A = this chain, B = another copy of it.
Amino acid sequence: MTSIRRLREVPRFDREVDVVVMGLGLAGASAALEAKAAGADVLVVERSGAGGGASALSGGLIYMGGGTPVQKAAGFEDSEENMFKFLMAVSSPGADEEKIRVFCADSIEHFHWFEKQGVPFKRSFYDEPGLESRTDDCLVYTSGEDCAPWNTIATPAPRGHKAQVVQKGGGLLMKIMLEAVGRESIPVLTDTRGEALVVADDGVVCGLVVKHAGAELALRARRGVVLAAGGFIMNEAMCALHAPVLNRVTDRNGTPGDDGTGIRLGQSAGGTAIRMHLGEVALPYTIPNPLSKGVYLNTRGQRFINEDTYHGHVGIAGLYKEAGELFLLLDDATFRRGLVGLQPSWVAETFEELEAEAGFPPGSLVETMTLYNRHAAQGRDPVFGKRPERIVPLVNPPYALVDCRVSQGAIWSGFTIGGLRTSVDGEVLDYAGDPVPGLFAAGRTAAIFSGHGYAGSGASLADASYFGRRAGRAIARAGGR
């Protein structure tokens, strides 16, 4: 189903355009809009009944910086160089310097492009790091920029931008982007699945065979095909082979289309998939600041991260290093103020009791909290560098322990961020780093820009839109066939 079709084996084409875009999430919409703007005749095919994809289900954060109008209005200083410095650090090891460079250089322009499509961004900051603001405010910290160790590497600046809407922003974002696609009169074939790339004998990708309304259609793409069909979090077998820890997450972020079809189509034509073990992972809640005054513990009763960092960092470290087996400890003061619908599994008057009840190794939780509280009384955390304003000694019983273990049913969410290796212009690259002619990819069908690190929430939509746009512009001027 995902093997190639030879050009000479295609008797006739049902439709002929310059560019076929497969998938109408944010990556596909961005690629289509830019290809069209560059003069190309574009056709979009979308597997489901309407566009939107996983982008529409998402929090809608877009990672942009360097001094966007929202950053400025909210009083945050940022620069291209500062953003670059942060992203290089957070993306290590294996940061993709070339992509990060252009991503930062063009970030303000990218913001204006979104506004030109009609996406409204309120000039305001929301002072809770999270998946998205719960108000219609725009700007949030989404990658721990103001936390250790990053706050010593680059000047902290929030860069998560959400369209102006209460709660999640993905729905509004995609509604507007789909309207933009409509305004540009870009044809969209919905209920249409990509089945095979059409490849000429010399390896040039020049079409896509799709299934539409039960029938097979052959689409000729004179300049090439953009694969923007999502990742593979919905494909358990692919996760088992490439990213088995992601099979532990209880809430797979995606649509049924995120089954790896896009990646496999790209591989069938010679594209190489990279960093396939990586994922974005989040704890089940948008952590409010008071909650970060608590302490995360692993099963050995140890802390493993500064709790005030962005909870996506907690999620990644928690799943990849601690197998998703975490607890959150709070005292009476921090518990009352902070929790959002979370119930403690254990409550006790002393750490000793709590430790015994929850089954930690004897003494482990007590020792951890003795050290933590001793430092907290001085307003500091020399072990993990939590910020003073998030540090209070946990000394008000009862103490509560929230069970965040994925094995015990805690809801962890995640999606894949590995995928086809692409150039800065979205060209799909083969094992040697050479472009597969006529083939482009964007969004989670491609490996995200941030190397083996984790660039935080908003990075995926920013990558999808920014590199999707570049792919659209590049394919419009591609030689093709």
Contacts and interface: CB of A to CB of B under 8 A. Distances in A.
Contacts of A92: 244
A367 B371 contact: yes
A371 B382 contact: no
Contact of A244 (B94, B277, B375): B94
Given A362-B382, A374-B363, A431-B268, A274 B93 contact: no
A218 B64 CA distance: 53
A382 B267 CA distance: 48
Contacts of A273: 272, 431
A242 B274 contact: yes
B361 A451 contact: no
B375 A363 contact: yes
Contacts of A276: 274
Given A240-B94, A384-B300, A452-B277, A371 B375 contact: no
Interface in A334-364: 361-364
A435 interface: no
Contacts of A213: none
- What number of copies of this chain does the assembly contain? 2
B432 A3 contact: yes
B452 A244 contact: yes
Contacts of A301: 383
Contacts of A247: 93
Interface string A74-109: 000000000000000000111000000000000000
A362 B2 CA distance: 57
Contact of A383 (B240, B242, B244, B364): B364
Interface string A375-397: 10000001110000000000000
Nearest to A268: B431
A154 interface: no
A93 B245 CA distance: 7
Contacts of A431: 2, 264, 267-268, 273
Lowest 5 A-B CB distances belong to which pairs? A94-B244, A267-B431, A93-B244, A361-B382, A361-B383
9 contacts: A244-B452, A264-B432, A270-B270, A274-B276, A275-B277, A321-B321, A362-B375, A363-B382, A367-B367
Interface of A: 2-3, 92-94, 240-242, 244-245, 247-248, 264, 267-268, 270, 272-277, 300-302, 321, 361-364, 367-368, 370-371, 374-375, 382-384, 421, 430-432, 451-452
